[in-house]
Structure 1
Amino acid sequence: MASSAVVLRRVVERYAPWLLAVVVAAAVWASATGAIGVRSPLPPVVALLVAVASGWAASLVRTRRWPLFLAAAVGWLVLAAAAPGVVASYQAGLRLRGRRLTDFLLGAALVLAGGVLVGLEVGGVRRLTTATLGNVLLLVLWLVGFPLVLGLWVRARRDTLAALRDRAERLEREQEARADRVRAEERTRIAREMHDVVAHQVSLMVVHAGALEVTAADPATVEAAALIRRTGRQALTDLREVLGVLRQGGPTTVPERGLDALDELIGESRSAGLRVRRRDEGVPAALPATVGRTAYRVVREALTNVRKHAADAETTVCLRYLPDGLEVAVRNGPSGAGQSLPGAGQGLLGLRERVELLGGRLEAAPADGGFLVRALIPVEGAA
């Protein structure tokens, strides 16, 4: 229904000037021939010229108004044709303001006075119609008063609707500004709480790991403590970057790693006790940075899930270079671990949204007693 109304409105707006021109021209001709007015004694060719000129002037009213005002004056004085005057008065009320409206009223008064003089001179039906007191008052109302008031009312209604739209848009902008302020305050609060809770606990972990690294006698314990300390320090660095973005509230993004850091990521997982290996297939090619960052995120999230739920399983990270993209697959075998680390369950969901944003797809499902995470990331459309 809404689309049909829009189409109808466009059609009306497009053809309304031509329809108005035909109606005005036909009304002037009917008035000159006596069908709806006073029959003119002038030759038909004069009436035809005035009718065509009045229709042409009416078709130009959206861009130029003076031809219509001139046609209204000529049509009334020569043929006593009312149609151009009615349209001219309506357009004056709709479009003219201040001094211009006053000038129009003065001109309309002069034209009506001239029509009285012409009626007195011509006599007969013309005098009875346009020169008697009662008819002159009715003509003032019909030719000028009513259409002028109608035009003023339409203009006032349009101005009111425009003012309401402006007010609604201003209120919407103010509401958006308030929402932005609330979001900024919420970001600051979240950043403060994250710093108070997470950063404090991670800092304690780093401190204890450093103390254990210094006091332990077992080389394996020293190596494990050093790994915990390095991992904790890296977590603190990443956390500070995230908190900085939350506090700023702008378009700043946290720096992310790409495929060049994949070996380091796998090495960290091996140091943490995972049995993981990497396999590349196809011909390596230069990839957009977005593809590299997304592939790194896929591998990192998959390895994190392996550490949580299948730390003793054999894991394979496979990169398959395709002509139109990159396929990343992380598969772990069966696990005999009886206990897994807690998780929020949102990592794969956010990862799927990130991959689909690039036009790719992500699969995550059990496979051969283990688990498979596979992402197909197209090159086309990636930045």
Structure 2
Amino acid sequence: MASTAVAVQRYASVRLAVQRYASPLLATVVAAAVWASATGDIGVRSPLPGVVPLVLAVASGWAAGVVRTRRWPLFLVAAVGWLVLAAAAAGVVASYQAGLRMRGRRLAGYLAGVAVVLAGGVLVGLAVGDPRRITTATPANVLLLAACLVGLPLVLGLWVRARRDTLAALRDRARRLEREREAHADRVRAEERTRIAREMHDVVAHRVSLMVVHAGALEVTAADPATVEAAALIRATGRQALTDLREVLGVLRQEGPAGSPERGIEAVDELIAESRTAGLRVRRQDEGAPTAVPETLGRTAYRVVREALTNVRKHAADADTVVCLRYLPDGLEVVVRNGPSDGGSTLPGSGQGLLGLRERVELLGGRLESTAVDGGFLVRALLPLKGAA
């Protein structure tokens, strides 16, 4: 893996260097080739004054250097260079660029222009005479020059363009497949959520319904007032559990807006009353000037109190408990603290309630603390106003 990463990094650095220096390097090579052709080093020596080949060499180099943004200067100097000096360097680059960037009618127009320039080169060769006539005016040489200086660069440009188009199509296909995979994963998750909802309905709702029915029967048949009151509480709690379960199932099934809106901070007293009815010794105290809080923050505060009181009922039902809402200038602090418990039976728990609650609090930019204190337990949540805005 390390060697592959090093190879990729080297390739990227080489590619960056090529992209940075390709244009000036190409301009230098083309200008030097045109000058060498005019002086007879790689072509027919020109009888024209030296300033003419120099100007054409500089113009050809400049046109090759700016070909990425403007093509017509290169095509122009390629035609002039061939007719005046029989210099082919600019023409080779022009043919490659035509194959790489032109399509349809533009490419056909370029080939027609090449034919006109080659025909003009034949006429110039015949007029100038040997050795220019032998090089550019004999049929065999004209065909060879057309194949080597026009055909091969043109085919190379067409191949590079086809390869780029193929790679672009493959990348687009890969992106499309990735999007399809993500969509498939979303469908699978939705199906799994629906399956979970059905299982919860089949198992939990059935058991809770039986509990409500039996509690109702006990409420009717029992003679002891305390038993009747406990049965009524069990029946009411069971019905509330069924209501909450339906809301959860609505969320899991993603059936648009989920049921009735979740209760907020105004329902904390109702939670405390329910806990007192269930036998807990709970009292509430507020600190600071009560102010209106955002709905999101209020719902989170309600969940903190609900989860904390649920844990007290499970693990310390005989302990004194205090629910404190502390209104701060920049937020709300929720504290639920219970004292030491004498022990006794406890209800089972999954241990996931506080973890989920911590995630909810942290989504608002707050902090949740849950720790044992003086033989009891403390749950403290700091909810900032800015996180709920």
**Contact 1:242/1:254, CA 8 A, preserved across alignment:** no
| AA partner of residue 295 (structure 2) | A
Look up the match of 1:219. Answer: 225
Q: Which of 177, 180, 190 is residue 174 of structure 1 equivalent to?
A: 180
Deviation at 1:216, TM superposition (A): 3.0
2: distance between equivalents of 1:4 and 1:288?
A: 54
Alignment of 1:1-383 (within 5 A): 13=19, 16-17=22-23, 20-21=26-27, 23-34=29-40, 36-132=42-138, 135-248=141-254, 255-383=261-389
Structure 2 unaligned blocks of 5 or more: 1-5
Q: Give a deviation string over 1:332-379, Cα, whole Å, max 9, x none.
A: 111112321111111111111111222222222211111111222222
Q: CA RMSD in A?
A: 2.8
2: distance between equivalents of 1:218 and 1:104?
A: 105
Q: Give a deviation string over 1:223-245, Cα, whole Å, max 9, x none.
A: 32222222211211121122122
Q: Secondary structure of 1:380's partner?
A: helix
Deviation at 1:125, TM superposition (A): 4.3
Q: Secondary structure of 1:381's partner?
A: helix
2: distance between equivalents of 1:164 and 1:254?
A: 48
Q: Secondary structure of 1:311's partner?
A: coil
1: distance between equivalents of 2:325 and 2:16?
A: 55
| AA partner of residue 189 (structure 1) | R
| AA partner of residue 81 (structure 1) | A
Q: Give a deviation string over 1:173-206, Cα, whole Å, max 9, x none.
A: 3323332332232222222111111111111122
2: distance between equivalents of 1:249 and 1:36?
A: 79
Deviation at 1:139, TM superposition (A): 2.6
Aligned CA distance change for structure 1 residues 101 and 260 (closer, same or farther; 3 Å): same
Q: Secondary structure of 1:283's partner?
A: coil
**Contact 1:184/1:249, CA 8 A, preserved across alignment:** no
Aligned CA distance change for structure 1 residues 31 and 282 (closer, same or farther; 3 Å): farther
Report the TM-score when normalising by structure 2. Answer: 0.87
Residue range with higher mean Cα deviation, 81-90 or 302-311 = 81-90
Aligned CA distance change for structure 1 residues 179 and 210 (closer, same or farther; 3 Å): same
2: distance between equivalents of 1:38 and 1:56?
A: 23
Aligned CA distance change for structure 1 residues 236 and 122 (closer, same or farther; 3 Å): same
Deviation at 1:170, TM superposition (A): 2.7
Deviation at 1:292, TM superposition (A): 1.6
| AA partner of residue 231 (structure 1) | T
Aligned CA distance change for structure 1 residues 245 and 41 (closer, same or farther; 3 Å): same
Report the TM-score when normalising by structure 1. Answer: 0.88
Q: Secondary structure of 2:305's partner?
A: helix
Residue range with higher mean Cα deviation, 258-267 or 242-251 = 242-251
**Contact 1:22/1:55, CA 8 A, preserved across alignment:** yes
1: distance between equivalents of 2:51 and 2:265?
A: 87
**Contact 1:316/1:331, CA 8 A, preserved across alignment:** yes
| AA partner of residue 364 (structure 1) | S
Deviation at 1:29, TM superposition (A): 4.3
2: distance between equivalents of 1:125 and 1:251?
A: 89
| AA partner of residue 40 (structure 1) | S
